Each structure stands twice: as structure tokens, then as C-alpha cells.
Amino acid sequence: MNKNDYTPSETMAGSELALNILTRQEHSISRKRISDNALKVLYRLHGAGFDAYLVGGGVRDLLLGQTPKDFDIATNATPEEIRGLFRNCRLIGRRFRLAHIMFGRDIIEVATFRGHHQEPNNQVAQQSKEGMLLRDNVYGTVDEDAERRDFTINAMYYNIGTYAIHDYAGGMEDLEDQLIRLLGHPETRYREDPVRMLRAVRFAVKLDFDIEEDTAEPIEHLAHLLQDIPAARLYEESLKMLQTGFGLETYHLMREYNLFQQLFPAIAEQFTEDYSSKTEQMLDLVLDSTDQRIEEGKRINPAFMFAAILWYPLLAQAEKLMASHKMADYDAVMEASNIILDQQVKTIAIPRRHTATIREIWQLQLRLPRRNGKRAFRLMELNKFRAGYDFLDMRAEIEGGETELLAKWWSTFQNAGRNMRQAMANDLDSASPKPNRRKKNYRKKKSSSES
């Protein structure tokens, strides 16, 4: 269960949702399509006398005929009671207390039903003065939990006891109409958790749905609220948005709602009305490539994506440094890389292991043109050579000219045999102008025997 599914809303508190119960014969979900580990958790909770429901995206995706990425569970058991039932359980989270049931690498997330935080309760809840939820461990009933879900299509519960679906907010109807609709007053819900704006876009693209008019209307003018979200959380959200197979389309929709600009302010400075800048061309290229790799089951590295989309803002920053500080090209690029990455991690906390790779990819763009002698052979032995070359190849599509010629040279060099590679390196040496060195006469020192 995603932690963002159930932050509270004062507009929802005490409201009555129109519960619609679909019996086993009235829906398409079969237990055969639910993971064995999720069923084990559901049945053990039910057998111990607790309510147990499959919830949220798992129910939604099963109804759409898709295979859910996660099978999340909601129950009236407290986290401590859940831990008492499962030896393979660990409790996580401070803002939201959750139970993770571990089956090797498979994790089933179990959450206790959430209540309304403004009602008297022994648990703790806290909101900022802007309305953003800071902490919330208030437990309640399944009905209250449903009222606090984010979107109608995520407010459906599959009851393991009766095999019925409890639809609290017209989620089935919105599934049929292919609509992303917020529960409650949209502006209030976005202020409570601005990440909901990102989730609305992500679900719309992933499911090929439309965002319902009232749900969409406040997004553009509330987009700035994302600046108050912790950078570590936005890093995780950025990967969900851009590296799950729908990155290109998601980027364009995010940009339409002024969301992408909040996550990548340095990139937004390069935006044009006709999408013609090199930065915009690179965004389309790298995100389309990422989507294709995911579709083909190939590995992806977040560092490569960040290196690509930040490259032209980096060059723009380097040009400023060369003009203002009279710096050499290499020094300016190195200093600009520090500035751009320092700015970016304030918004999206890119882990250090990735920023190190980003720097290596950028440095290779400066080293790949220097191929004479043994340099080309040594470059190919570098750990990040392939990433650096792949990025050079993308740049070639955008820049053409010398960059394209350089990329073609490296493509030929990689695929050539040893003798051919040596001949290519020799050609570079013969074509390079020889340095004009002044001859010096050195007088040999006499040995002690000659003295």
C-alpha cells in the first residue's frame, strides 16, 4: 500500500461514501491471479479474527486485467498485532507505521486502517500550517480508511472472507469511464500531500486515462508546493515518473501541468515554446530510449538519465564561468558540474553513487575526443566507457557535425579487430600536427673513472 494513498482530509472526515458491494459473481477478480504470498498473509489475518482486504492498485489492476506490481493489504490489526502473527515481519515508517511481511525478495505491505486525525485519539497526527500532513498514525475503520484514499479507483477493497469487492467511491464507474478522480476537495487534498499531483499524472499516463476536470484544474497553480517535499521522497517519485516505461509521455504531461519544472529547475531554464532547444531534444531522446529498454527487459541506470538531461544546462553554466572567470574549458565544465549537481540534489536527492557515475559520464565527453597514441585503448578499458559512449551517440543525433563524426569513429573502433584499431590510432597520430620542440644539447657528466 503506497503511503500516499491515505493521508487525511478535513473535507472527507465524517462524510458518507456510497458503498457498493460487488459479490464474487459480479466482478472478475480470481484468487488464481493473486500472489501466493499475498494470499498467505490475507488468510492468516482472517484466520486470526482480523479483517483482511487486498486494496488499492492491486485491486484496480486486477479489474483492468493487468498483473499488479504489488499486492498491498489493509487490516484492522495494529502493526504490533501484525508483527505478533508473522515472524518474518518488520515495522517501518514514522509518518505512516506499516508492516512489511518478508518472503525472500518479495515484500507484502500491510497497513492498519486509518482514521480521521482531528478526532480524539491516543495516536499521534500532525499537520503543517499549510495543511501538509507531517505525521499520521491514527487508526480507524475500513470505512474511514476508504474516505482517506486519494483516488476513487484506489478506494476498492477485496474482502478475503467473502471474495466481494467493497467499492466506496464509485471506483468501478471511473474505471469504466477511464477517469482519474480525487476523493474530496482537490485543492485541499493536494495541499495535504502535493505528491498527489504527480500521482494523478502518473496514473493517467500508465492507465491511459484522463484526469477528471475538477481534479486537474488546481494542479498548475499548486505545482510550486512540490518545493516543500523532502528531496529524498522526490527522488523516488522521479524514478516512478520517468523510469517505469512511460517516461516520455509522463514528462510531457508533467510539463503541461508545471510539475516537471518544479523537480528540475535548471532544465526548465532551457525550455522553449516550440520544444526546439538541445535540452528538450535530449529529454525526448533519453526518455524514449529508456522506455524502449524497459519494454525490451534491459537494465536501466538512473545516473545515465540524469547525466543526459542535465548535460546542456551544465554546458550553459560552463559558458558563464568561462566568460566571467576566464576559466579553461575543462576547468569550467568541472566547476559547472559541481554547481548543477548541487542545485539538483536540493530538489531531488540523487544518491552519491549516482552522482559519481554522472560525473564520470560527463568527464568522458571531454576525454573521448582525445584518442591518439594508446589513449583510445585505455579509454575502452574504463568501467563507464560504454555509458560515456552511449551518451556521446545520443549527443551526435542532436549536434551532428564533429560530434557525429566522433561517435562514428568510436563505433567503428569498438567493432574493429586489434590490427584495425591500431591502424585507426596510427592514422590519428599521423594526422596530428607534431609539436615544435627546440633541440637541447646535454653534456654528459664524466664518470668517476674518467675524472
pLDDT tens-place string over residues 161-208 = 999 999 999 999 999 999 999 999 999 999 999 999 999 999 999 999
pLDDT digits (tens, 9 = 90+) for 365-405: 999 999 988 999 999 999 999 999 999 999 999 999 999 99
Could you count the other beta carbons within 10 Å of the beta carbon of residue 319?
A: 14
Could you count the other beta carbons within 10 Å of the beta carbon of residue 132?
A: 17
**pLDDT mean across residues, the chain:** 89
150 among known catalytic residues: yes
Res. 435: pLDDT tops 90: no
The DSSP bridge partners found for residue 102 are 107
Res. 96: pLDDT tops 90: no
User: What percent of the chain stands above pLDDT 70?
Assistant: 87
- Distance (Å, whole) CA 137 – CA 97: 6
Where is average pLDDT lowest: 107-121, 163-177, 183-197, 311-325? 107-121
pLDDT band at 97, cuts 50/70/90?
A: confident
Q: What is the pLDDT of residue 77?
A: 96
Average pLDDT over residues 331-335: 95
Question: Which CATH code of 3.40.50.11810, 3.40.50.970, 3.30.460.10, 3.30.70.20 fits the domain covering 18-177?
Answer: 3.30.460.10
pLDDT band at 436, cuts 50/70/90?
A: low
Res. 38: pLDDT tops 90: yes
Res. 155: pLDDT tops 60: yes
Which is catalytic among the residues 51, 70, 210, 288? Answer: 70
pTM (global) more than 0.75: yes
Q: What is the pLDDT of residue 170?
A: 94
More confident residue, 439 or 114: 114
Q: Are strands 98-103 and 89-92 parallel, antiparallel or unpaired?
A: antiparallel
Dihedral over alpha carbons 300, 303, 304, 310 (to 10 degrees): 140
Residue ranges of domains in the chain: 18-177, 281-430
Q: What is the pLDDT of residue 437?
A: 52
- Distance (Å, whole) CA 295 – CA 305: 16
Res. 358: pLDDT tops 60: yes
Which is catalytic among the residues 5, 61, 72, 136? Answer: 72
More confident residue, 222 or 121: 222
Q: What is the pLDDT of residue 428?
A: 86
pLDDT digits (tens, 9 = 90+) for 234-275: 999 999 999 999 999 999 999 999 999 999 999 999 999 999
Q: What is the pLDDT of residue 123?
A: 47
Domain 281-430 of CATH type 3.30.230.30: no
Q: Name the grid cell of 190.
A: 493536494
* Nearest to 53, CA basis, from 136, 155, 138, 153: 155
pLDDT digits (tens, 9 = 90+) for 286-299: 999 999 999 999 99
In what helix (H) or strand (E) does residue 62 lie, and over which residues does it extend? helix 57-63
Res. 284: pLDDT tops 90: yes
Question: At residue 98, what are phi and psi to the nearest 5 degrees?
Answer: -130, 155
Could you count the other beta carbons within 10 Å of the beta carbon of residue 249?
A: 17
More confident residue, 440 or 351: 351
User: What percent of the chain stands above pLDDT 90?
Assistant: 81
> What are the C-alpha distances in Å from 77 to residues 1, 50, 110, 112, 146?
15, 6, 9, 6, 16
Q: Which residue has the cell 501466493?
A: 36
- Distance (Å, whole) CA 239 – CA 349: 12
Average pLDDT over residues 103-108: 95
Res. 5: pLDDT tops 70: no
Q: Name the grid cell of 100.
A: 512489511
Average pLDDT over residues 400-420: 95
The SS3 of residue 343 is helix
Q: Which residues in 269-360 belong to E strands, given as ranges?
A: none
Q: What is the pLDDT of residue 3?
A: 41
Res. 93: pLDDT tops 90: no
- Distance (Å, whole) CA 51 – CA 78: 11
Res. 8: pLDDT tops 60: no
- Distance (Å, whole) CA 396 – CA 404: 4
Which is catalytic among the residues 5, 145, 150, 167? Answer: 150
